[in-house]
Structure formats: structure tokens, C-alpha cells
Amino acid sequence: MKLSIFHSHVLLLLFQSNLFGQHDGNFPPPANPPVVEAVETTEKITIDGRLDEAAWRKAAPVSEFFRIEPRQGGAVVHPTEVRILFDEKNLYVGAVCKDRLGRRGARVQDFRRDFNYFENDNFSVQLDPQNLKRYCVSFQTTPLGTQRDLQVFDGSLKDTDWDALWSVRTTMTDSGYVAEFAIPFKTLRYRQTGANEAPTWGLSLTRLSRRDYEQTIFPPMPQSLAPYRMTYAATLKGLKLPPPSVNLRLQPYSLYQRDAERTRGTATTSDNDFKIGGDAKWAINPHAVLDVTFNTDFAQAEVDRAVNNLTRFNVFFPERRQFFFGELGSVGGRG
């Protein structure tokens, strides 16, 4: 009889371990990723960080965030709820980031674009519009509405020089902060699906609460991996993508320079110089982008950083001209 009771206790402990410890240590990607439904809206969404439009209440909230820092697993101290909408032009993401200290709980160190991820409270959205499982674009913001965007390859290789066209507004509340994103479809590169094929994208959501250094993510992912590993991503469904269109952006410029020499207040010689030029970026399809420059103004172009390389390895420099393009660098192609 005692042996039977002992065995029953062991089985109970094994069951509890399997139920509550299924995300201990490393674990493989889910065979059936969770599904997030984006809700179409015809209501005008004002990006003000309030989520007070009626359309937001029609979208089911995503709140099953998994803690990966400071320890993997366990109860989440700072809950987060996310809803997703879309219309014919934009994908909208609304996040309610709760904090028991309200406004006093926010930790924001700087207001620069492309802020330091680890030094600020932030919420981020990762999208894999082509379902490559090896690539994503990440849109991030702090409680004060500072923007950070980047492309990530294989979960670890980051291109922070990428600057996309998107907007976000935030509001601080007594229970935390609210972030409202508008990401134009033209900013993203995705594959146009057939008439009988529903589009699906990879999606992951992360939040960092700097005060307690609590990092949470949806869907669950091992602590040992970067939060950009899209093999663990959820599946975003319900989208109706706009048809292909011409993705072309132009950035012209003009310069005028006049030099004059004066002798005792009288102009003796003068020289007038007028210069025009510009840049164009054309997203031909999801895999090819054409950059064209006419009469480049090198005074506005950044140069490579000076590096003393004393090793046997090559030095790879980022493409500095992406800053020169500014908003042009965000245009994506659709095929």
C-alpha cells in the first residue's frame, strides 16, 4: 500500500514538472505556432497613443507573454496586451504595457532614434512578411515614443542603419504606458499571394521593463536565443494585402553658391555656381531594389569610419549612404 502511494506521488510530480517546466532550458520551435488574427477596419485610426477607436475593441488581445529575463519562465511581473488591426494602407499595432508604478516606473535614458535597446523600457514588433524564418524587421519604441528600427538576419546579424517609414505615438498612464504603431505596407517587402491563398506572416512581440530587467516575449522562446529568432514566431493571419504598385521614391536637391572678391568694398570678381541632382530608389520586387544617383552631392554623404586593422581579418563597413537616402531607405518591393 505504501509503495502504491509513493508511486502515485512520483507520477504526480512528473506530471507537474511536465506541465509547468515545459519551457525550462532550451526547447525546440513549436510544431503548430500560435495564431494571431489581424482585424480589418474601415474606421480612421488616429495615431495618438490612446487606442480609443472602437475598432481596437474588436481585435482579440494577445497577452500570453513568456518571461526570458532575468530568469526563464515563471510569473510575468509586468503584463502586456497587444491588438492588431489593418486597413488598405497600414498595419496597426496597439500595445498596453502595464506597470504597477505607472509613470514613475518608466526608465528612458535617451531620445535618439535607434536608441540603446538594453538601457530603456521598450516594446517591439518583429515581422517576417515573407515567411523566410531567417529574417525579420523590428519596430521598437520607448514609453516616450522614441523610434528604433532594424533588420535582423538569422536571429543575430543586425542592420541598424536601416531607417523605415513608420509612425508611433505613446501615452503615459497611471497603470503604465500605451504604444500605437502604424506601419505602412509599402515599408515592407512581402510576397503577393494568389487568389486562393491567404497571406500569413511571422510575428513576435517583445517587451523590456528596464527597472526590473524583465524581458518578456510572445510566443515563448529560449533565453539563450535572441528575441529575433523567427523560427519560434507566431503566425499572423487575416491580412488583406494591397495589390502591387510602383514603389518609387525621389529625393532631389539643388545648391547655389556665389563667390565674390571685394577690394575696398567694391566687387572685383564674382563666380556663380548652380548645381542640381538627386537620388531615386525603386523597389522592383521583394528581392531587388535599384538605387540611382545623379550628380551626387558628396558634401551630404557620410564617409566610412577610420579603422586601424592589425588583424588578418577583413573589415566590413556598413553602407553609409543609407543615411543620405533617409526615408528612401525604407521602401520595400512587392511582387
* Separation between Cα atoms, residue 70 and residue 162, nearest integer Å: 29
d(CA 136, CA 33): 17
Give burial (CB, 10 Å; 0-12/13-18/19+) of 251: middle
- The predicted pLDDT at position 258 comes to 82
Residue 204: which residues within 8 A CB-CB, separation 6 or more?
A: 125, 126, 136, 217, 218, 219, 221, 227, 228, 230, 232, 233, 234
Query: What's residue 22's pLDDT?
Result: 55
What does the pLDDT read at residue 275? 86
Domains and CATH numbers, the chain: 24-237 (2.60.40.1190), 247-330 (no CATH)
- Single-letter residue type at 109: Q
CA of 235: how far to CAs of 30, 175, 335, in Å?
11, 29, 21
Q: What sections of the chain are H helices per DSSP?
A: 2-20, 321-325
Q: Provide the pLDDT for residue 39.
A: 96
- What pLDDT score does 2 carry? 47
Read off the pLDDT of residues 70-110 as tens digits, 9 standing for 90 and up: 999 999 999 999 999 999 999 999 999 999 998 898 999 88
- Residues of the chain with pLDDT below 70 are 1-23, 244-246, 267, 286, 298-304, 318-335
Category of 51 on φ-ψ map: left (φ > 0), alpha (ψ -120 to 50) or beta: left
Q: What is the pLDDT of residue 74?
A: 92
Digit-coded pLDDT (tens) for 193-213: 777 788 999 999 999 999 999
Fill in the DSSP letter of residue 46.
-
pLDDT at 6: 45
